C-alpha cells in the first residue's frame, strides 16, 4: 500500500521490533503495533513525537520531569509533557547558561549559574516550546506540551509502538516545518502483518541562519516560534 499526502507516504512494512519510549503517561493497555519512521533519504528519524487519543483512560505521572543541561546540550533533546505538568531545569554543567524561549506556549528567560542550580516552570498551554541558550548558540531543545493525549517518541532506529494500527495520529519533528511547530495528521490503516509499518516523512534540510535578540545571539527569532 502506498499513499502520498503533503510530503508523507506509507509504504510496505519492515522488520525489527523495538521498544518505544513513553515520556509522560502510564499506558493501561498492551502495545500491539509498531511503526518505523524514516526521512526522504531512507534514514531513520529519532525523536518523532506521535500523539493520539483513545477511549482508554491514562494516568499522568505526578513527578516533576527534567530538562537537564549536560555538556552544553539539553538533555533530553525532546521532552514530552502533559498540559499543566512542571518541568525542572537543573544545570549539571560546571558553567553558566542563559536559557530562554520565545514560544507562545511558554515564553521565559532565566540565568543558570554553575552546576547544581535548578529552576522550575509549569507548562499550562499546549504546543511546542523551542529552547535556546544565549551563551551557547548550539544549544537547542524542545518541550512538546500535549493536550491530555497519549504520546510515544521514536528511538534512534525511528521505531515506536502503538496500541493499535487503526488510529488517527499526529506526527511532530523539529524539521517538519520552518517554524518548528507544525504537525502532520495521519490516519493509520488496519494491520494485516506482524511487521511494523514504515512511514516516510519529508524533512527540511536547509539550515536557518542565526538572528540577534536583545539577550544576545540565538538560533530562532521570536516571529518563528
The pLDDT score that the predictor gives to residue 165 is 80
User: Total domain count for the chain?
Assistant: 2
In whole angstroms, how far apart are CA 80 and each of 74, 129, 193? 13, 10, 30
d(CA 184, CA 38): 14
CATH for 163: 2.60.40
Do residue 117 and residue 183 come from a single domain?
no
- At 123, which CATH number? 2.60.40.420
Answer yes or no: do 69 and 136 share one domain. yes
User: Has residue 225 been placed in a domain?
Assistant: no
Contact criterion met (CB below 8 Å) for 61 and 83: no
Q: Which residues pair with 173 in a beta bridge?
A: none
Please tell me the predicted confidence (pLDDT) of residue 6: 38
Query: Could you tell me the pTM of the whole model?
Result: 0.78
Structural domain containing residue 180: 3-53+150-201
Strand order in the sheet with 150-153: 150-153, 49-52, 168-172, 184-187
Report pLDDT digits (tens) over 6-23: 334 332 333 332 223 333
Amino acid at each position: 500500500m502506498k499513499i502520498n499526502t503533503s510530503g508523507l507516504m506509507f509504504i510496505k512494512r519492515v522488520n525489527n521490533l523495538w521498544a518505544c519510549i513513553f515520556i509522560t503517561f502510564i499506558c493501561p493497555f498492551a502495545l500491539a503495533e509498531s511503526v518505523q519512521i524514516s526521512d526522504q533519504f531512507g534514514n531513520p528519524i529519532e525523536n518523532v513525537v506521535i500523539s493520539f487519543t483513545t477511549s482508554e483512560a491514562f494516568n499522568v505521572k505526578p513527578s516533576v520531569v527534567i530538562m537537564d543541561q549536560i555538556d552544553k546540550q539539553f538533555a533530553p533533546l525532546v521532552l514530552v509533557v502533559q498540559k499543566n505538568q512542571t518541568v525542572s531545569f537543573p544545570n549539571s554543567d560546571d558553567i553558566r547558561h542563559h536559557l530562554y524561549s520565545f514560544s507562545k506556549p511558554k515564553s521565559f528567560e532565566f540565568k543558570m549559574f554553575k552546576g547544581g542550580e535548578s529552576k522550575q516552570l509549569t507548562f499550562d498551554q499546549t504546543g511546542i516550546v523551542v529552547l535556546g541558550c544565549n551563551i551557547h548558540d548550539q544549544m537547542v531543545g524542545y518541550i512538546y506540551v500535549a493536550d491530555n493525549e497519549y504520546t510515544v517518541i521514536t528511538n534512534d532506529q525511528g521505531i515506536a509502538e502503538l496500541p493499535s494500527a487503526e488510529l488517527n495520529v499526529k506526527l511532530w519533528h523539529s524539521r517538519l516545518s520552518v517554524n518548528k511547530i507544525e504537525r502532520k495528521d495521519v490516519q493509520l490503516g488496519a494491520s494485516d502483518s506482524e511487521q511494523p509499518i514504515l512511514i516516510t516523512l519529508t524533512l527540511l534540510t536547509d539550515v536557518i541562519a542565526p538572528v540577534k535578540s536583545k539577550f544576545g545571539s540565538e538560533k530562532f527569532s521570536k516571529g518563528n516560534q
